[in-house]
Amino acid sequence: AQSVTQLGSHVSVSEGALVLLRCNYSSSVPPYLFWYVQYPNQGLQLLLKYTSAATLVKGINGFEAEFKKSETSFHLTKPSAHMSDAAEYFCAVSRNQFYFGTGTSLTVIP
């Protein structure tokens, strides 16, 4: 069975500070992993994806994530938060279908 756990439903950071959003997965085989961002009343925008190539994946808007098989994690990071990063973030694992985490709401404090 597949599942995704996002630790921390709400994360607040100061503008310019490091952003760290946590995602752990359970999968019997190496999965395909995704991070999406969702702004209010909008659809999902793909930030980055892991497809069993490089374990450190760089995405859009300065985000990156590292696949760690030993920790079954795929945490999302950004070195310096910007006000425009305030949004909802979803981690997902894909096999035949997508399994989404519960989401993390990121607040950026000026």
Partner 1 sequence: GAVVSQHPSWVICKSGTSVKIECRSLDFQATTMFWYRQFPKQSLMLMATSNEGSKATYEQGVEKDKFLINHASLTLSTLTVTSAHPEDSSFYICSARPGWPSSYEQYFGPGTRLTVT
List of residues contacting partner 1 (CB under 8 A): 32, 36, 41-44, 46, 49, 51, 90, 94-95, 97-98, 100-103, 105
User: Which residues have a Cβ under 8 Å from the Cβ of 7 and sit 6 or more positions away?
Assistant: 22, 23, 24
| Cα dihedral 93, 81, 7, 33 in deg (nearest 10) | 10
What is the smallest separation between the CB atom of 94 and partner 1, expressed in angstroms? 5
Question: Which residue, 59 or 100, is less far from partner 1 as judged by CB?
Answer: 100
C-beta neighbour count of 106 within 10 angstroms: 21
Question: Which residue, 93 or 108, is less far from partner 1 as judged by CB?
Answer: 93
C-beta neighbour count of 31 within 10 angstroms: 22
Residue 74 identity: F
What is the smallest separation between the CB atom of 92 and partner 1, expressed in angstroms? 9
What is the smallest separation between the CB atom of 28 and partner 1, expressed in angstroms? 15
**Residue 20: closest CA among 64, 70, 68:** 64
What is the smallest separation between the CB atom of 74 and partner 1, expressed in angstroms? 15
Question: Which residue, 63 or 89, is less far from partner 1 as judged by CB?
Answer: 89
Question: Which residue, 45 or 80, is less far from partner 1 as judged by CB?
Answer: 45
